[in-house]
Structure 1
Amino acid sequence: MGLCQLPPCIITEYCPRESLYDVLKQASQRPDAAAELTWRRRLIIALDAARGLLYLHLSEPPILHCDVKSPNILVDESWHAKICDFNLSEILRRRRSGDEGTAACNPTWLAPEVLDGGRAEAASDIYAFGMLLTWQLPWRGLTPFQVRRAVLDGRRPEVPPALPVSGAEQFAGLEAYCQLMRDCWAHEPTERPGLDAVAHQLSVLLEGLA
């Protein structure tokens, strides 16, 4: 809706459900909150986030978010998601001027190429998006060093993920969903799908719930 330079901030609409991290935390603690997090709502949130990142990647010049994680996805009253916190975002053309940019220091969501000292690319955002699809905080209980070692060794979170949902809700598209997750967090950046393909697959899965 607007921006301010001092202090630097972006003004958006109010999102009463707070962040996706908050939504998932409540779902893990309260059965009534877990029951609200249906597969339809999860897919809507995931699709919105994918489209938001795709918008950034298709901008001219392209923009990398560089800090994709559940605390940086806001959820509004209608269960739609908004990408936020662009503090680490990078405009790709700046690299040609020698600007080294800034890297996130929390390894929980970072792609292996970034953990190994490389530069973040569009595929690095896609890796982090794959971590979002677990619907939990990845690598819970591990130290940052252990997370880095696990990711570089090719380990990934449990699939299918332990979803915070009440009851035994059936989802016919679960295997396709899990395959999409695996594709997003492929070790080699070139093996990860583009966000246009990710958004298309999520749309297909969402339509399958109709």
Structure 2
Amino acid sequence: MAAAIKLRSRYDNTPGYLEKRHPAGVLLRSQLAVAEFLDEIDDQYAAAGDGGPGVGWLLRFRSDFRAMIQDGLLAAYGLGKCLQTGPTHTPAYAVAIFLLGRCASRSHTLGLSRLDAESTPAVRKHYARALRRVEAWPRLRRLSEDHPDDRFVQAVLENTTRRPFVNRLSRFAQHVDHSHEAEAALVSRMPLWIRDTEWNGKPPKRASWIRIVLERIREWVRGE
């Protein structure tokens, strides 16, 4: 199981450094553990029969998902190798795309842009999400051009375009209350207090992206 990989992100964020830091045996064990995990996903899907495994069948693997994402680049190394050699039409391939997208970042895309992950609509959905997360806009635009009829891919690309700052600022100013503007003092006599706290949070999700997630949940519930 992939959860057996108990290595944490104590290494540099470059694959080249990873290969120099860890012996070939460690990288091979990572690749074999990831391959075994993906094979188990395919076996579970095949055992469900023609009716499919149903909604939520991947929940039993959530601990493995968390372990691989926390392992970071070491798990990403095995995922990348499996994506290069494995079949693209299996459910495990889409899962591997999702996990690699969670391990990657804007500064280290881990080869996401070089993948040819366009075989099925499910794979394209996870691939488009991963490209958007790491902000690989050129590859996302090429994916949109290759599949103009894929509504999900088109929606992901359209939601990456932001309005100009001038328009957003003017829209914000329309909702500002100016009724007490004349009562405000020009110079405040209050002392300035600043609370120095370390910022550990994450930026909020965009409304357009939340809408995409809710539409996906509705598809799962309705079985569409």
Larger helix percent = 2
Larger Rg: 2
Larger strand percent = 1
Q: TM-score, normalised by structure 1?
A: 0.33
